[in-house]
Copies of this chain bind each other. A is one copy, B any other.
């Protein structure tokens, strides 16, 4: 089978590098086009980008010449966007208008009514919004994935959705890789906690309700729940850990909830999408798990781990969940989105 050519918008930054690493050796996709800012245009990627991840830059990509972030540069139909939020809006729209499918990690279009905020294990049906984007006069479309901390929380909540989630209070302990590069100054985080991440709490609180909401024709009916979050940065490399207390409208025993976690599977597993982990949400029974350093890389970073489900003295239950923020919470999330789109025939 011939691989599908894909491009990466914003290829030189940290998220762009994560896309390139995650797509290295992908069975369906092959990175053949890279877009970045003027500073990089015309340079081979290995000169334009300082590789910051483990190991070496994949060789085939290293030789690609960086292009302008314009659709007329022969970009493939499918492009992943790792654009910085400050520039993503116009560029992503230009690509969508020109007929590209933009699978974006940027926050810019996430909350627009006709844009899916997709987590394939939770809301594959939201993809149907795409046809409404044509009303914008676009030949292509934009699909987004959530903010990294939101992914951890919503995946941790997804198996509980049948029990009627009504209230959630979450506290995050987020890895430094989530802040991009150079991101957090080491002088700020060595042996420290920073109890603030600009804009993060608002994103978690609103995105969660859209993700867990229902497709309703031309928009998403948000989950009728209240979510409150406290976001913190901690000296961890990869993996956002979240503690969560939840209220459920349908009372259930601990045992029933754990069974719901154990039984949870979804569309990507059914379709055997290449990046779909065997267990999208893995409940760990050890009393001190999940832990970011020990659990973030399960199944190439795509499995979200949950543990410590117990009763909460204020709401009903509480638990811990954790996701690899640059894989399941960014590059891997977008690639899984694209795989679902391919499997459902959107890219023909």
Point out residues on A near B: beta carbons under 8 Å: 14, 52-55, 167-169, 171, 173, 176-177, 179, 181-196, 205, 226-228, 230, 232, 234-237, 241, 243, 245, 287-295, 297-298, 307-308, 312-315, 318, 320
Contacts and interface: CB of A to CB of B under 8 A. Distances in A.
B185 A236 contact: no
Nearest to A246: B314
Contacts of A312: 169, 228
Given A228-B315, A234-B235, A320 B186 contact: no
A52 B192 CA distance: 13
Contacts of A230: 171, 243, 245, 318, 320
Contacts of A297: 54-55
Q: What secondary structure prevails in chain A residues at the interface with B? A: mixed
A314 B171 CA distance: 13
B293 A54 contact: yes
Nearest to A168: B314
Copies of this chain present: 4
Nearest to A234: B234
A88 B317 CA distance: 34
B181 A185 contact: yes
Contacts of A313: 205, 226-228
Contact of A191 (B183, B196, B236, B288): B236
22 contacts: A14-B187, A52-B187, A53-B294, A54-B297, A169-B312, A173-B193, A182-B182, A182-B188, A185-B185, A189-B190, A190-B236, A191-B191, A191-B292, A194-B288, A195-B288, A195-B289, A195-B307, A195-B308, A196-B308, A228-B245, A228-B314, A237-B293
B195 A241 contact: yes
A178 to B, nearest CB: 10
